[in-house]
């Protein structure tokens, strides 16, 4: 009889310690998850049209939320070749670095690659009787511009962006 009680006690304590361990693991995982969300550039930001309107200038709003296009050679950055980082004007997500910027001669800031794979997202755009690939901010969905296959090495891509969607920070 004593042996049985002892056995039950042992099983119970093992079960309890296993449970508490797995709880600790869960807590750790949750914490890791939260940390990752904080630094991830794909942590989505969703705001209403009204909120964006309040936050952005008229031109920034037209381009980023209404998929407008600024006139070529008029934006702030088509002719900027300083070293630094280009951020999303709407949510500050880092999008491009100056090292990947090149002079495409088209009047819009052009890059051959985004700063990271998840910093932007792609949508098929069939407006104006063309099929183009729209590029949007990976975090807030702001319209940035389009990507074409006539860029320079190493990617052969040309990310043709609107200055109005970007905010440049010099290094």
> Judged by CB under 5 A, how many residues of this single chain contact Zn ion?
8
- Other C-beta atoms within 10 Å of 89: how many? 27
Q: Is 115 in the site for Zn ion (CB under 5 A)?
A: no
Site for Zn ion, residues 70 to 89, rule: CB under 5 A? 88
Secondary structure class of 80 (helix, strand, coil): coil
* Alpha-carbon span 87 to 91, nearest angstrom: 8
| Planar angle of CA 95, 98, 103, nearest 5 degrees | 110
The CB-of-57 to Zn ion minimum distance in angstroms stands at 15
Question: Residues near 4 by Cβ (< 8 Å), separated by ≥ 6?
Answer: none
Q: What's the burial of 47, exposed, middle or buried (CB within 10 Å: 0-12/13-18/19+)?
A: middle
**By CB under 5 A, is residue 136 in contact with Zn ion?**
no
Structure-block tokens of residue 143: 């319209």
Parallel, antiparallel, or unpaired for β 143-148 and 158-161?
antiparallel
Which one from 88, 91, 140, 160 is the annotated catalytic residue?
A: 160
Interaction of residue 63 with Zn ion, rule CB under 5 A: no
Binding mask 29-58 for Zn ion (x = CB under 5 A): ------------------------------
- Our answer to whether residue 160 is catalytic in this structure is yes
Q: Does 137 bind Zn ion (CB under 5 A)?
A: yes
Q: How many CA atoms lie within 13 A of 45 on its CB side?
A: 19
Q: Which is nearer to Zn ion, 135 or 137 (CB)?
A: 137
Residue 90 CB, nearest approach to Zn ion (Å)? 5
Residue from 115, 140, 147, 166 binding Zn ion (CB under 5 A): 140
| Segment interacting with Zn ion (CB under 5 A) among 5-13, 14-22, 99-107, 140-148 | 140-148
Q: Quick check: 120 binds Zn ion (CB under 5 A)?
A: no
Q: How far apart are CA 165 and CA 11, in angstroms?
A: 62
Residues catalogued as catalytic: 160
- Residues lying near Zn ion in the complex (CB under 5 A) are found at 88, 90-91, 93, 137, 139-140, 142
């Amino acid at each position: 009889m004593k042996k049985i009680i002892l056995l039950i006690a042992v099983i119970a304590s093992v079960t309890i310690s296993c449970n508490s361990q797995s709880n600790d693991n869960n807590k750790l995982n949750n914490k890791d998850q939260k940390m990752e969300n904080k630094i991830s550039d794909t942590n989505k930001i969703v705001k209403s049209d009204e909120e964006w309107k309040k936050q952005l200038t008229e031109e920034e709003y037209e381009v980023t939320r209404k998929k407008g296009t600024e006139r070529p050679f008029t934006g702030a950055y088509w002719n900027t070749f300083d070293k630094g980082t280009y951020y999303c004007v709407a949510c500050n997500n880092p999008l491009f670095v100056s090292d990947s910027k090149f002079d495409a001669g088209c009047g819009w800031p052009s890059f051959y690659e985004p700063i990271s794979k998840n910093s932007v997202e792609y949508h098929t755009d069939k407006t104006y009787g063309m099929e183009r690939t729209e590029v949007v901010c990976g975090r807030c969905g702001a319209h940035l511009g389009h990507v074409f296959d006539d860029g320079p090495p190493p990617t052969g891509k040309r990310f043709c962006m609107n200055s109005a969607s970007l905010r440049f920070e010099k290094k």
